[in-house]
Structure 1
Amino acid sequence: MYTINRPPPLSAWEKVGLFFRLAFIAPLQAILNVSRCLCIAAIRGLPLRFYAQCGIARVIHGSFSARQIQYFSPSTSSRYKTWMATRLAHARTTNDKFLLKRLRYDVEGLPDGESSILWIGNRRRATKFVYFLHGGAYVVSLNGGHLEWCLRAYVQAAAAAKDGEDVAVAVLEYTLCPAGQYPVQLSQAAAGLAHLLRSGISPRNLVIGGDSAGGNLTAQLLGHILHPHPDVKAIGLDGPLAGAFAVSPWVSGHTDTRSFVENEYIDMLSPYIVRNSCNYLLEGVEQYAAERSKGHGWAMAVDVDGGWLEGLETVTREVYVTVGGQEVLRDQGITFAETIRTRNPRVSVRLEIMENEAHDWIMLEGMAHWDGDATKRMRAWVSDVFWNQ
């Protein structure tokens, strides 16, 4: 069993410091970061759309502590509630019958009382399911871009499927750092998956995955199914999952690969941000060092021998990894996909390296309410997994 160590609320002095940073420091950093991201993108001949957002994201992750970010950011469940109300209102205004039949506020609490499942799509009529693990460096809550992504890439994929087929997405709300450190999130992700399986969902009708830190949590969960973590309840599958995906996955604690050097100043992440996120998740966690020395890769799958991922064909039939050519996590995502492919010849691995994209492009498309190329690629992949096998 794990412990949640909630930090105290921000003191009055900390709030003054946060206001000063928001009012004076952050705007200057935003101007610098946005200008630099756009200039590098222009020099490299890249489409400029979303590179300004990369600069803004760098300010949030690089200039504020986890506690400060969480102070001014709504929780995952609050964002979900607001998004669902807005989406339903729009569906009623436009008389969107497809969405009106499928969208409703639907939250299921999990046994620990800290985590929950937030549903997008009608789980009672669905025949296919996606278990979604959101990113945010384990310190930022889910955002509307994640929810739009789930709606557009998964729920609306059913519109082109045969009659009677529907997709529902189970979004995990998990405990953020620093209140919860590794393996708290793995325990919650495993409990969420066990809940879905107990509800009658067959692994062959289920895809799991996430972005960035959610990609890390996906790798943790796959590793746990394959090699049960001693502190987390084991999960037994009666057959392999339909598929697993990882968008811009964070699967290594190292920040010295070529992509970190090439893309340090154009991506929304930086070596500093990644190292800081590692500290939030793993600093002071004594078992992590012991696990790594034994070749156990639950926390960071790429930082141990590739044999850790051998046998994954018993866990999933398909794996989809997509990374941006302009992101710092590019190389570790490629290594993750290639290791799975090499060690598991019976697993169909799709690896996409998109040269025009930086970190987590599909999430940025969702924030823009846009069916962009990343969203369309994801929808095509999940449609193939569910209906074209």
Structure 2
Amino acid sequence: MSAWDQPLTFWEKVQEALNRLSILATVLSTTVTGIFRGQSGAKQYSVHVACAVIRKACVTYTPRQLQLQEAPTDETYRQFMTEQGLQPDTVPLKYGAKGHWIGNKNAKTVVVYYHGGGFFLNAYPHHFRYLGHIVKRLNNDVAFFFLSYSLTPHAAYPVQLRQAVEALRYILTQTNRSPSNIILGGDSAGANLALAVLLHLSHPNPEIDTLEISRPLAGVFCHAPWIDYRTDGPSVQKNAYKDMIRPEILNYWSAIYLGSKEGDAWSEPAKAPAEWWEGVKTEQVLIVAGGDEILISGIDEFAQKYKNVLPNMVYVVGSGETHVSAVYVADMVGHDTQQVEAIVNWLGARLV
């Protein structure tokens, strides 16, 4: 067990208690000031307060406190399945990863799904509830194979991408599905992985085993993709008090993900040359994002730049929505945001 995995010390717990008081102060102050937020705050009052609290937590807690306050992804999945009265179904994968089934694993179409959290945070309960909701909306005609990958700082790039490729390899080789019945999907950092895996299929990362597929994948969908690590876009300032993310935390997460490496086309898919996207192994790409998130400038730039080489790309921006709001502020907005509706409709069209 590394020092990072050790339980919080007494003094760390004391500090954590003080942090809670600081966050409570944010709740109280934002509850009042949020009434007068005007156009500078989130569209919904409850979302405005929640995002302020999340922003405060991300810079108040130490990184270790932030990571350890949530249950591990594997445990959260087990709890979700127990709540649903279902038996957990987990598959060990190469390189220390695991795959968790959500929905009927005998469904014709499978989505290999990668969760967000800056490569640093475990999956939240609402990740599983959100995907379970999509399965129900689509009448159980699709299943999700949810990758539990190694988090930073325990592992750095390209470990997570290697594990993401292995999840797809498992579905191809062990479930005997055609690529035309497989979709890649993910949110935020997970959407980064989905695009990176797609690039790897046609332009292999030299540090990762190649994966040949016989025909194109059914599609790839990206929910608020974190596709480059710049924090100088116009939306970073414009949406600073609307969204839940702060540039400081993005800078920290991207630095520990890259480790000693420079960013490249697989760690930051927006850096891939245009001609790489012309030969990707799918014709169907969906990108959804929130109009009030700080990442929207980079996402919009990516979508506009590559729409000519990805002619079937569908790009949807949820008006007044924050970053992956169906997960991170799900209790305030519910699951059926504009972004989720776009994903459900797009997935439904792939199941025909």
Same fold (TM over 0.5): yes
Residues 110 and 361 of structure 1: CA distance in aligned 2, closer, same or farther (over 3 Å): same
Task: Name the residue aligned to 1:133.
Answer: 114
Structure 1 CA distance for aligned equivalents of residues 12 and 34 of structure 2: 30
Deviation of 1:31 (Å): 4.2
Deviation of 1:340 (Å): 3.1
Task: Name the residue aligned to 1:84.
Answer: 81
1:120 and 2:102 correspond:
yes
The correspondence for 1:359, drawn from 303, 319, 323, is 323
Task: Name the residue aligned to 2:70.
Answer: 73
The correspondence for 1:146, drawn from 98, 115, 127, is 127
Gaps (5+ residues) in structure 2?
A: none
Contact residue 50 and residue 364 of structure 1 kept, 8 A: no
Task: Name the residue aligned to 1:189.
Answer: 164
Residues 44 and 66 of structure 1: CA distance in aligned 2, closer, same or farther (over 3 Å): closer
Gaps (5+ residues) in structure 1?
A: 89-102, 160-164
Deviations 1:45-98 (A, max 9, x none): 93335333222221332222332122221000111111111122xxxxxxxxxx
Contact residue 99 and residue 148 of structure 2 kept, 8 A: yes
Contact residue 259 and residue 330 of structure 1 kept, 8 A: yes
The correspondence for 1:318, drawn from 281, 284, 290, is 284
**Secondary structure of residue in 1 paired with 2:213:** coil
Deviation of 1:145 (Å): 1.3
1:211 and 2:187 correspond:
yes
Contact residue 8 and residue 65 of structure 2 kept, 8 A: no
Task: Name the residue aligned to 2:144.
Answer: 169
Structure 2 CA distance for aligned equivalents of residues 276 and 35 of structure 1: 31
Structure 2 CA distance for aligned equivalents of residues 271 and 32 of structure 1: 22
Structure 1 CA distance for aligned equivalents of residues 97 and 35 of structure 2: 38
Structure 2 CA distance for aligned equivalents of residues 6 and 236 of structure 1: 39
Deviation of 1:354 (Å): 1.8
Task: Name the residue aligned to 2:234.
Answer: 258
**Secondary structure of residue in 1 paired with 2:351:** helix
The correspondence for 2:245, drawn from 249, 269, 282, is 269
Structure 1 CA distance for aligned equivalents of residues 224 and 240 of structure 2: 15
Residues 46 and 171 of structure 1: CA distance in aligned 2, closer, same or farther (over 3 Å): same
Deviates more, 1:32-41 or 1:272-281: 32-41
Residues 77 and 35 of structure 1: CA distance in aligned 2, closer, same or farther (over 3 Å): farther
Residues 150 and 23 of structure 1: CA distance in aligned 2, closer, same or farther (over 3 Å): closer
Structure 2 CA distance for aligned equivalents of residues 18 and 280 of structure 1: 24
User: What is the count of residue pairs matched by the alignment?
Assistant: 350
1:24 and 2:28 correspond:
no
1:381 and 2:349 correspond:
no
Task: Name the residue aligned to 1:53.
Answer: 50
1:299 and 2:295 correspond:
no
Deviations 1:124-158 (A, max 9, x none): x31111111111111111112111211122x2243
Structure 2 CA distance for aligned equivalents of residues 145 and 352 of structure 1: 22
1:63 and 2:60 correspond:
yes
Structure 2 CA distance for aligned equivalents of residues 82 and 215 of structure 1: 24
Deviates more, 1:257-266 or 1:369-378: 369-378
Task: Name the residue aligned to 1:105.
Answer: 88
Structure 2 CA distance for aligned equivalents of residues 16 and 365 of structure 1: 26
Contact residue 229 and residue 268 of structure 2 kept, 8 A: yes
**Secondary structure of residue in 1 paired with 2:111:** strand
Contact residue 34 and residue 41 of structure 2 kept, 8 A: no
Contact residue 148 and residue 367 of structure 1 kept, 8 A: no
Residues 33 and 136 of structure 1: CA distance in aligned 2, closer, same or farther (over 3 Å): farther
Structure 2 CA distance for aligned equivalents of residues 177 and 267 of structure 1: 23
Deviation of 1:238 (Å): 0.9
Structure 2 CA distance for aligned equivalents of residues 8 and 358 of structure 1: 31
Contact residue 192 and residue 268 of structure 2 kept, 8 A: yes
Aligned amino acid, residue 138 of structure 1: F
Contact residue 326 and residue 355 of structure 1 kept, 8 A: yes
1:330 and 2:296 correspond:
yes
Deviations 1:201-221 (A, max 9, x none): 211111111111111111221
Task: Name the residue aligned to 1:350.
Answer: 314
Residues 238 and 323 of structure 1: CA distance in aligned 2, closer, same or farther (over 3 Å): same
Q: Superposition pairs for residues 228-247 of structure 1, below 5 Å?
A: 228-247=204-223
**Secondary structure of residue in 1 paired with 2:4:** coil
Task: Name the residue aligned to 1:97.
Answer: none
Contact residue 203 and residue 241 of structure 1 kept, 8 A: yes
Aligned amino acid, residue 92 of structure 2: G
Deviation of 1:41 (Å): 5.8
Residues 106 and 339 of structure 1: CA distance in aligned 2, closer, same or farther (over 3 Å): same
